[in-house]
Amino acid sequence: MGASMKIIFIIIISFLSTIGTAQENVDHWTTLAMVNSESKFDDMMGMIIKTATPTPIAEALNGKDIEIRGYIIALSAKSDLKHFMFSRYPQNMCFFCGAAGPESAMQVFLKEGDSINFTADKVILKGTLSIQKGDSSGLIYTLLNAELLKVIK
């Protein structure tokens, strides 16, 4: 193993060792953005599709409880939301509007019995991150058993 590979290995191990102890200080979107992207023609869709595969650094968050800041993208009604999309960016810049990649959005399922109302303000959610591979929707991340911690006005 060359000197540069050893340095990279040490950096990765150091980063992974801090995930469980300093999660409140981590910008999880930055970590989740660590993906390998590929564009290819999809015969079924009839267009070029961008796919993303999380790197080992991002995958280290799989199954972990995380807090994450972002914006609610309602899928239907804007009240009594139990399942919705969540984006690193406001709706006018989100993945679904074509201005960002699939690593900048996730679907969210709230805790059983919980619901929230839509807000255009940034919010903080807490839940368990689940990473999907090969999802035909193009989504990589799902936040399970989520709860709203704070609305940032």
User: pLDDT tens, 2-29?
Assistant: 655 555 544 554 454 444 444 444 579 9
Between CA 29 and CA 88 the distance in angstroms is: 7
Strand duo 65-73 + 122-131: pairing: antiparallel
Tracing tokens 């796919």 back to the chain, one arrives at 51
* C-alpha pair distances (Å), 27 with each of 24, 61, 126, 149: 8, 12, 13, 16
91 is a domain residue: yes
Most confidently modeled range among 17-21, 35-39, 86-90: 86-90
Q: How many domains does the chain have?
A: 1
7 is a domain residue: no
Q: Is the separation of the CB atoms in 70 and 146 below 8 Å? A: no
Domain around 69: 28-152
Structural element, H or E, at residue 59: helix 56-59
76 is a domain residue: yes
62 is a domain residue: yes
Return the minimum-mean-pLDDT range out of 11-15, 35-39, 125-129, 148-152: 11-15
15 is a domain residue: no
Between CA 94 and CA 96 the distance in angstroms is: 5
20 is a domain residue: no
2 is a domain residue: no
5 is a domain residue: no
Tokens representing 133 are 């591979």
**Is the pLDDT at 136 greater than 80, yes or no?**
no
Other Cβ atoms within 10 Å of 70 Cβ, number: 23
Whole-number pLDDT of residue 8: 58
- For position 145, which CATH number holds? 2.40.50.870
Between CA 115 and CA 106 the distance in angstroms is: 17
